[in-house]
Amino acid sequence: MDIEELAEVCKALGHPARIRILRHLLMENRCLCGGIVEVMPLAQSTVSQHLKVLKEAGLVRGEIEGPKTCYCADHEAIDRLFAGVRELLTIDQSENDT
């Protein structure tokens, strides 16, 4: 994950509600928007907007099932996020020796 992509993903996680939604999706594996609304103190339209941001950042996928959309966390994207953060926080001593 390059720095620009990492920054965009981190920006998408910059709201507590989005982190809660992502955690919920990770625990439930997949969920309809209405199921998320039931466990969040937010209006359906607000949850939908947060899901849109997470989806645009690539952290969440949505599959249309009839008139509704079923959302799930994209585990590959989350793995890339962890790898990007790990790389960001890893200090290469050879860079400091110059």
pLDDT at 35: 85
At 96, is the pLDDT very low, low, confident or very high (cuts 50, 70, 90)? low
Q: pLDDT (tens digit, 9 = 90+) per residue, 50-75? A: 999 999 999 999 988 788 889 999 99
CATH number of the domain that residue 61 is part of: 1.10.10.10
The rounded percent of the chain whose pLDDT value lies above 90 is 59
| Domains contained in the chain, number | 1
Buried b (16+ CB within 10 A) or exposed e, 41-76: ebeeeebeebbebbbebbbbbbeeeeeeeebebbee
Residue 50, in any domain of the structure:
yes
Residue 9, domain extent: 3-88
pTM: 0.83
Residue range 32-47: mean pLDDT, rounded: 88
